[in-house]
Each structure stands twice: as C-alpha cells, then as structure tokens.
Amino acid sequence: MPVYNKLVRDKIPQIIEAGGKTFAMRTLSGEEYRQELRKKSFEELEEYMNAKDDVTAVEELADLLEIIHALAECHGATIEQVEAVRAEKAEKRGGFQEKIFLIEVHDE
C-alpha cells in the first residue's frame, strides 16, 4: 500500500473511491496547508524541470499556476492582486522576454 503524505487536489479522494479503493486522509490546519502548498510548489516545479516536451511542460505550468492561486489566497490576496504586483514589477524592472543573462557587474 503506497503512503503519500502529501497535499493533493480536492477531487482526488473521489477519484480514488471511484476506482474502488479506500484511503486515509485528514484536513490540514491553515499553517500546515501553507507549508504543504510550499512543498507542493517545489514538487510541481521539479516536474516542470523534468518535462521532456512542450505539452508536458504546459501541463506542469498549469499545476504551478494552481498552486500560485492557492498560495495567493493563503496570503490574503486574489490572483488579480498578484497579477497587479507582477505587472508593476515588470513595468519597473522589465520581464524576461529579452533573454538577458547577466554575467557579472564590476565596481569601478
């Protein structure tokens, strides 16, 4: 019997039951939830980093975006507020479209 001990999507228990299996689970406290979301973000990022093709990469990016939505809510923000901060930072500091790779900065 596999032991997962990890945060899963909300419909996973129903999917497991529909497959004729039983499971054990619990509902996390607020702080546990935030910690597990942070762990999950690393898991999903690793899956993105290991993606072998664009289709898989986009699926993993969608998973990361789902985590970002949940984390925003944990921090008392909407995804629109997060997007506004992103846009403001892009306006002030730029985005990543120009593919600039900084080698070093010299103090002169």
> For the whole prediction, is pTM greater than 0.95?
no
Q: How far apart are the first and last CA of the chain?
A: 62
* Contact assessment for residue 71 and residue 37, using Cβ atoms and an 8 Å cutoff: yes
3-state per-residue secondary structure call for 85-103: HHHHHHHHHCCCCCCCCCC
Instruction: Judge whether residue 108 has pLDDT over 90.
Output: no
- Cα distance between residue 28 and residue 5, in whole Å: 11
Q: C-alpha angle with apex 68: 65 to 74, nearest 5 degrees?
A: 150
Per-residue model confidence as pLDDT tens digits over 45-62: 999 999 999 999 999 999
pLDDT of residue 1: 79
